[in-house]
Amino acid sequence: MSSILIEADRFELNFMSKRFNYDNKDELVEKILNDKDTIKIPDNLPDELAETYKIARILDEFLMDYFQVNTSSVSLVNTEDKIEENLNNFKQEILSSLGKEKEKFRQVSYQTKKRFKNIFEFSKSENLYLSNMYTRFISEKLGHKFEEIANLSNKVYLPDKELGIKLKGIDLIIYDQGLIKYTQLKTKKDTLTGSQKDRSIQELSIHPYSIFAAALDMGNSLTVSKKSVEKYNIELLVGESFWSLIDLDYNLILNKISKIIKELDKELYS
């Protein structure tokens, strides 16, 4: 895959041309969507990634200009307070959503015939029935929360949040020493199954520079190996190495998340 990208991506960009109106997001989105069809698609690029490839190559120009201005400004202050606020909101969202599931369980009528999901529901074992739902739900939501926390850095851009543009296989974009790096962020090292590995590599390999990252240095070894990505300019970053790249404190984030998880554990099982 890498050979198809070298020539296609080495086009000259006039980064400071101000072709984009940065203050008007609707106009910016329209400009990006109109200009994307001027991008030539490499011959052997998978069809399902063609749209993402074209939009990303237009975004390259916008983001280079955006980051050059944004990262030259004063660094974000009160980061710890913002992380705290973000995670407190996360806690309330979790309690609200899972509280409804608990009430739903308690209101199940056992007087009428019902098809039970499992033996835990049938036996009215509330904690055992709800535990799997709790951990799956919290883990899923935590993944999105990591993106929001990363977005506190002025080296990060979320195209979905900022422009409503979804790029297949990309959660956020990072500016690192003059390079635009398209990033796929997982919660922990072994989030991916073996069958998902090749898809992730393919999604990241269409970009000149990209990162496969795990927010937490937990779990078994990365499903995506260094050997499998070495020819695609895909970096593998885990925990500290990911957060330090965007100037955020991994241990601070880890400790605050741990505190919130403990509070959720106490309140959900009360």
| Ranges of each domain in the chain | 3-73+153-247, 82-148+254-268
Phi, psi at 65, each rounded to 5°: -65, -45
Give 24's DSSP letter: -
Note whether 173 and 180 are within 8 A (CB).
yes
Q: Is the pLDDT of residue 17 over 50?
A: no
Cβ neighbours of residue 123 closer than 8 Å, sequence gap 6 or more:
none
- Between residues 63 and 18, the one the model is more confident about: 63
Q: How confident is the model at residue 13 (pLDDT cuts 50, 70, 90)?
A: very low
Rounded to an integer, what distance in angstroms lies between the CA atom of residue 54 and that of residue 167? 10
Judged on CB neighbours under 10 Å (0-12, 13-18, 19+), 87 is: buried
Q: ∠ at Cα 25 (143, 153), nearest 5°?
A: 40
Average pLDDT for residues 73-84, to the nearest whole number?
A: 75
Averaged pLDDT of the chain: 86
The rounded percent of the chain whose pLDDT value lies above 90 is 56
Higher pLDDT, residue 19 or 150: 150
Q: What's the full length of the chain, in residues?
A: 270
Report d(CA 92, CA 78) in Å as an integer. 22
Q: Is 95 exposed, middle or buried (0-12, 13-18, 19+ CB in 10 A)?
A: middle
8 confidence band (pLDDT: 50, 70, 90): very low
92-129 pLDDT, tens digit per residue, is: 999 999 988 888 888 876 656 678 888 888 888 888 88
The pLDDT value recorded for residue 76 is 54
Give the β-pairing of 210-216 and 179-188: parallel
The pLDDT value recorded for residue 111 is 59
pLDDT at 31 over 80: yes
pLDDT of 20: 58
| Distance between CA atoms of residues 94 and 4, nearest Å | 44
Q: Is the pLDDT of residue 10 over 70?
A: no
